[in-house]
Chains A and B, each alone.
Chain A
Amino acid sequence: MSVATKTDKIQRLAELAATKETSTGDSLWREAFRRLKRSKMAIVGAVVIALFILLAIVGPYIAPYSPTAQTWRGEVFPNRGEFVGMRPENWFGLDHLGRDLFSRFLVGARQTLLVGVVATLIGLTIGFLVGGLAGAFATLGGERGKRVDSVIMRFIDIMLAMPSLLLAVSIAAVMGQSLTTVMIAVGVVQIPVFARLLRGSMLVQGSSDYVLAAQSLGVRKRRIVVSQIIPNSLSPVIVQATLSLATAIIEAAALSYLGLGNPDPAIPEWGVMLTQAQRFFDSGAPMMAVYPAVGIIITALGFTLLGEAMREALDPKLRG
């Protein structure tokens, strides 16, 4: 038996142990992203969303016809229940005014995306500010902060207690009928959701040991909120924002359906298209409703899938 030198021994050991050296210096965000990339759900969701965004960008340019031109007016007679379905020159058929549905669908994607994104952004921004403020007061504001927090939260509770559709209808009633109204109405309804979520998440993080540790280090309260509590409270809010995009599109469609959307028929939007189609749903042209409806469902599904996948990727408990 040969006598092994000390370096030999250490080297051999290092070789055997090296296989599982995984320290990469990756932050939790980067790790979550890596997990997200491996998730099938995330990939499907992302592909759907990417297609949707692509459609919103290039739709108006690739539309074969003008979405407003009533080119085939003479072929459609809604009163008599005579419609035109799929055919080589009109892939989705014609609507009740003789317009090409495929072109309207392509052009409408942009408006739909705009409604979803803007509404969610309104809800997210205001909800984030309100919730963040309440959370900051509740976690580090002491006795007085707790009181401020409960005043804010009672206000949010009142908002939450109102039926969302009713709230939207009243906002629309005050502001008049327009796309902006729909976006604001849908956005406002989301405010309490985001506010409560962020505050709740901040309360949990606020009672954690690392916040206590930062306090004992003598870090200023404002800095603790901004650099410690909020970054760790973001995950559920990000997930909710993704999921909210889906509901915002559906809710905007619902408001359009109720006739609160854009009054200008010239600008197609999937929700508006659905509204227009409902009159003819049982009188000869169910397909008119199907195209925008399927469009909305698939898009919403895409956002939901991505949101769920993000929830899984961001949950530190699933970290393995």
Chain B
Amino acid sequence: MSLLSVDELTVTFGGVGRKESRAVDGVSFEVDQGQVVGLVGESGCGKSVTSLALMGLLPHKGVKVGGRAEFDGTDLFTMSPSARRDLRGSQMAMIFQDPLSSLNPVVPVGVQVTEILERHRGMKGEAARKEAAHLLDRVGIPDPTRRLKEFPHQLSGGMRQRALIAMAVACAPSLLIADEPTTALDVTIQAQILELLKELVDQEGTALLMITHDLGVVAGLCDQVNVLYAGKVVESAGRRELFAHPTHPYAHGLLGSIPRLDSPRGEALKPIRGSINDRIAWADGCAFAPRCDRYEMGCLTGTPPLTEPRAAGHEVRCVHPVLDDAKAEEVPA
């Protein structure tokens, strides 16, 4: 059985007096023990909202969460708030994009780490401090005993993200959710952090739900990749399968539109036209249709179902999937 299984998750904002907007529109995926699963998409695709809903960190007012999410066999959305709090931080932990704003600026890093140890692992005083130093050491922070006494602003961006990871793994969680953990960092620091995450997964068997917009990061890190568009999974496959045969026109277009360091120069990029604002409601048809080169009338008859047009386990939500890579390029823009 999977560690985390999300089934038809919906998150709706607004309500009373205001127009409702559905940020997550029926997202389903599973994360197994020790697996790295990617949620990929652009801003506004609902990837961050999904992670916040799973962690129970969405505001209560004006937000409706629907669907099911089972963690280790228990339903996250029906459990009591206190049980959820205990779970969060010990069994599930999250790493955020901006390490500076996720750390309390007026409390030394050490206190923030020991707090977690005291709360979730019942450690006290010297023992907790020792363990905290060990944790900082574990995530590659040099001179951990000195760093424990420092405030977040005294650490560099990379160090802060490491400290945040140390806090997240303090209780050896079985699931780590990382929301754009390297977006705010420079590439050389990003490489360090990704390396660290890989080690955690490989050595501790932690499952990782990686939320990012960077397809490069996904290609090197994730076992299973879910591509989100306008609040729905439009393609889901193993990373090799997905990158070798992107089948949804969005995923296909996305891969064709990013400049690659290793691609020959002078080759023009093939952009996807329009922006995320050019969309239609899923109820009317495929939300990507207005930007799609392969759009046909058939795309406008309700939400396209997830099918497996290419290979088993490679799910695509499209009526006219890209099955022949060469042919796809012939379609006029």
Contact = CB atoms under 8 A, between A and B. Distances in A.
**Does a CB–CB distance below 8 Å link A and B in the complex?**
yes
Chain A contact surface mostly: helix
Interface in B271-330: 278-281, 284-285, 289-290, 295-298, 300
Contact of A16 (B281, B296, B298): B281
A107 B278 CA distance: 60
Contacts of B281: 16
Interface stretch (A4-12, A76-84, A126-134): A4-12
A13 B290 contact: yes
Residue in A8, A9, A13 with the greatest tally of chain B CB atoms within 10 Å: A13
Contacts of B289: 13
Contacts of A1: 298
Chain B contact surface mostly: loop
A8 B297 contact: yes
Nearest to A9: B297
B278 A17 contact: yes
Contacts of B298: 1
Contacts of B296: 4, 9
Contact residue range for chain B?
10 to 19
Contact of B280 (A4, A8, A9, A17): A17
A12 B279 CA distance: 13
A9 B294 CA distance: 11
Nearest to A3: B297
Contacts of B295: 9, 13
A8 B295 CA distance: 12
B33 to A, nearest CB: 41
Contacts of B300: 12-13, 16
B267 to A, nearest CB: 29
Interface in A81-136: none
A16 B285 CA distance: 9
A12 B296 CA distance: 10
A318 to B, nearest CB: 13
Contacts of B290: 13, 17
A12 B278 CA distance: 14
A17 B277 CA distance: 10
Interface in A17-32: 17
B24 to A, nearest CB: 19
Contacts of A13: 280, 289-290, 295, 300
A16 B281 CA distance: 8
A13 B299 CA distance: 10
Q: Which 6 A-B pairs have the closest CB atoms?
A: A16-B280, A4-B297, A16-B284, A17-B280, A13-B290, A17-B290
Interface of B: 278-281, 284-285, 289-290, 295-298, 300
Interface of A: 1, 4, 8-9, 12-13, 16-17
17 contacts: A1-B298, A4-B296, A4-B297, A9-B296, A9-B297, A12-B297, A13-B280, A13-B290, A13-B295, A13-B300, A16-B280, A16-B285, A16-B300, A17-B278, A17-B279, A17-B280, A17-B290
